[in-house]
Chains A and B, each alone.
Chain A
Amino acid sequence: MSLLQVGGVSRRFGGLQALSDVSMSIARGQIYGLIGPNGAGKTTFFNVITGLVRPDAGSFMLDGKAYEPTAVHRVAAAGIARTFQNIRLFAEMTALENVMVGRHVRTHCGALAAVLRTPAARAEEAAIRARALELLDYVGIGAFGHLRARTLSYGDQRRLEIARALATDPKLLALDEPAAGMNGTEKVELRRLLERIRANGVTILLIEHDVKLVMGLCDRVTVLDEGRVIKEGEPAQVQRDPAVIEAYLGRAHEPA
Chain B
Amino acid sequence: MTPVRAPATADPQSAAARRRALLTGLAITAVVLVLPLAAGWLGTAWVRALAFAALYVMLALGLNIVVGFAGLLDLGYIAFYAVGAYTFALLASPHLTDNFPAIALAFPGGLHVPIWVAIPLGATIAAGFGVLLGAPVLKLRGDYLAIVTLGFGEIIRIFLNNLNRPLNFTNGPQGINLIDPVRIGIVSFDRPLDVLGVQLTSPQLYYYLFAALAALSALVCARLQDSRLGRAWMAIREDETAAKAMGINVRNVKLLAFGLGATFGGVAGAMFGAFQGFVSPESFSLMESVIVLSMIVLGGLGHIPGVIFGAVLLSVFPEVLRHTVGPLQEQIFGRIVIDTEVLRMLLYGIALVVIMLYRPRGLWPAPLHGTARAPGGGDAPPPANRAAGGVEP
Question: Which residues of A are interface residues toward B (Cβ below 8 A)?
Answer: 50, 52, 72-73, 76-77, 81-82, 84, 88-94, 97, 100-105, 107, 109-111, 114-115, 117, 121, 124-125, 128, 137, 142-148, 150-154, 164, 167-168
Contacts and interface: CB of A to CB of B under 8 A. Distances in A.
21 contacts: A50-B245, A52-B245, A73-B248, A91-B238, A91-B385, A93-B231, A94-B370, A104-B246, A104-B247, A105-B247, A109-B228, A111-B229, A117-B223, A125-B227, A143-B2, A143-B376, A144-B375, A150-B385, A151-B371, A152-B381, A167-B246
Contacts of A164: 246
B368 interface: yes
B239 A90 contact: yes
Contact of B231 (A89, A97, A121, A148): A97
Contacts of B142: none
Nearest to A103: B228
A92 B242 CA distance: 14
A101 B248 contact: yes
B242 A84 contact: yes
A88 B242 contact: yes
Contact of A114 (B5, B224, B242): B224
B7 to A, nearest CB: 11
Contacts of B5: 142-143
Given A97-B231, A151-B382, A73 B224 contact: no
Contacts of A52: 241, 244-245
Given A73-B244, A90-B242, A94-B369, A137 B223 contact: no
Contact of B234 (A97, A143, A153, A167): A97
A115 B224 contact: yes
Given A104-B248, A105-B247, A146 B232 contact: no
Given A101-B246, A109-B228, A114-B224, 13 more contacts: A52-B241, A88-B239, A90-B234, A90-B242, A92-B238, A92-B386, A97-B231, A100-B231, A104-B228, A109-B227, A143-B376, A151-B382, A153-B379
Interface residues of B, number: 46
B230 A114 contact: yes
B223 A143 contact: no
Which of B229, B368, B389: most chain A CB closer than 10 A?
A: B229
Contact of B248 (A105, A124, A144, A154): A105
A145 B6 contact: yes
Given A88-B239, A104-B247, A115 B386 contact: no
B248 A147 contact: no
Interface in B350-393: 368-372, 374-376, 379, 381-382, 384-386, 389
Nearest to B223: A115
